[in-house]
Amino acid sequence: MIAKHHSFVPGSQPGPVSRREALKSGILGTAGLLLAERLAIGGEPKATSAAAAAPASGPAPKSPAAGPAKAKAVIQIWMWGGPPHTDTFDPKPEAGSDYTGPLNGTIETNVKGIRVGTLIPELAKLADKYSIIRSMTHGINGHETASYMVQTGRAPGGRLVYPAVGAVVTAFKGFVEGSENLIPPYIVLTQPQGRFSEAGFMGIRYKPFATGGDPNAARFTVEGIVAPGLTDDQQRQRRELLDQVNTLGRMMGGDAQVEAAKRARSQAYDLILGDAGKVFDLSEEKEELRLRYGRNTFGQSCLVARRLIEKGVKYVTINYAGWDTHKDHFQIMRRKLPEMDKGMATLISDLADRGLLESTIVWWGGEFGRTPEVDWKSPWNGGRHHYGAVFSTVVAGGGFKGGQVVGESTAKGEQVKDRPVYPADLIASMYALLGIDPEAGLPHPMNEFVRAVPGPDEGLKSGGLLKEIM
């Protein structure tokens, strides 16, 4: 819904600057660029913490419809490319070899009556902690358009570019007045998802921070925080040199813009050299636990995600690519599914053991599923293609019940048989658990009113909130 209604009015501070703009201005050192995106250059910030550099008015007031928040944070496991629903959480062993290929069996989970694919045995042991949605649907078969729909809940191609879930959660939950948390509230591990994890019309302040690097490397080189080939002592020496050559800063002492830049640089160095940045140092974890997660990029990303949630980060996306299996599908599944199984299962168990699962939503899924019927023709050699008619999503924690199955697909996994669930239904359900009012307005540069979730007037199909698992 779009109308003139100022429910989320930006404060009096000027808009933030991008890293590139800050660099061009010449008033920030390289270290300061990390936090410059969230510090309003040109106005007096309300607090010294980068997390407090949100619009002065804060999010729109919650109405009673929002309800109490059960969840505080989200870990999204984004299966870029589209994971196969029939080989994972919605197996169809009776469909025949043209549909199952060599993965024609199932295994019982620890919840009677729920069976999953044979290549995810560790997750099968934890079915009581998550719920499977087997009737997700949107009917879109293109990567970009399907990703946009799943990440925003809105149809692509309209006048506005809508924000992804992570950006919305950041707007309402990520900026806490008076907080001293220097870690950005919205983080992507490790590579950005492009506009599918972006802030849309809400602006740069709500964009995610993408770490880059590889958490499974000997040293996790996080962009702007942990530099490759530099020790902490060398970082400190660079800071001292920057202070020595920063004649402009000394000449313009007291200027609001320069003082704001100094604060941004100081906060960035505190993140680089202080305790906050150590959240990315996995050498602090026991090797036994690291092995449980899996010594690969995905497994160690799951471990970093848990550490970030412990430190108060509100939204973490693990961008887990490699699921666009048009060719040689089953060979890839035999390699990637055990890797996914180990990392995701350990993440859920670790969160539960630490008392974090009840306040953290874990959201697994991609932009669509894969074709239930296998394409054996050359050059596909047993491939599965894009499929948006029906696919599966998994949710755990944060107020979602475990041990449940929502919806059902047909006998061969080709259509929704019962209880269709659309992307906006899932998104609205997560917002409800996070205490975000669906009627609240999003930050808009022209102060237009745009609902946090689509309204009936937007013409999107809806199956309603997932009340059966909330």
pLDDT digits (tens, 9 = 90+) for 185-213: 999 998 887 666 688 999 888 999 898 99
Burial class (CB in 10 A: 0-12, 13-18, 19+), 421: buried
pTM: 0.82
Summarize pLDDT for 318-369 with one digit per residue, the tens.
999 999 999 999 999 999 999 999 999 999 999 999 999 999 999 999 999 9
Q: DSSP character for 174?
A: I
The confidence score (pLDDT) of residue 246 equals: 61
Looking at residue 435, its amino acid is: G
The confidence score (pLDDT) of residue 181 equals: 72
In DSSP notation, 439-458 reads: TPBPP-TT-EEEBSS--GGG
Summarize pLDDT for 140-177 with one digit per residue, the tens.
999 999 999 999 999 988 889 999 999 999 999 987 66
The ranges assigned to domains in the chain are 2-9+54-223+281-469, 17-52+227-275
The confidence score (pLDDT) of residue 226 equals: 62
Which residues of the chain, if any, have pLDDT below 50?
1-64
With a CB cutoff of 8 Å and minimum separation 6, the contacts of 107 are 115, 116, 117, 118, 121, 124
Q: Which of 295, 349, 340, 307 is nearest to 322 (CA)?
A: 340
**C-alpha span between 306 and 74 (Å, rounded):** 10
**C-alpha span between 272 and 30 (Å, rounded):** 11
Considering the segment(s) 2-9+54-223+281-469 as one domain, its CATH architecture is: 3-Layer(aba) Sandwich (3.40)
The confidence score (pLDDT) of residue 27 equals: 35
Summarize pLDDT for 206-230 with one digit per residue, the tens.
999 898 999 999 888 887 666 666 6
The answer to whether 212 and 221 are in contact (CB under 8 A) is yes
Find the helix packing angle between 329-353 and 297-310, rounded to 10°.
Answer: 20
In DSSP notation, 120-157 reads: -HHHHTTGGGEEEEEEE------HHHHHHHHHHSS-TT
* 186, two tokens: 């919205």
**C-alpha span between 264 and 41 (Å, rounded):** 9
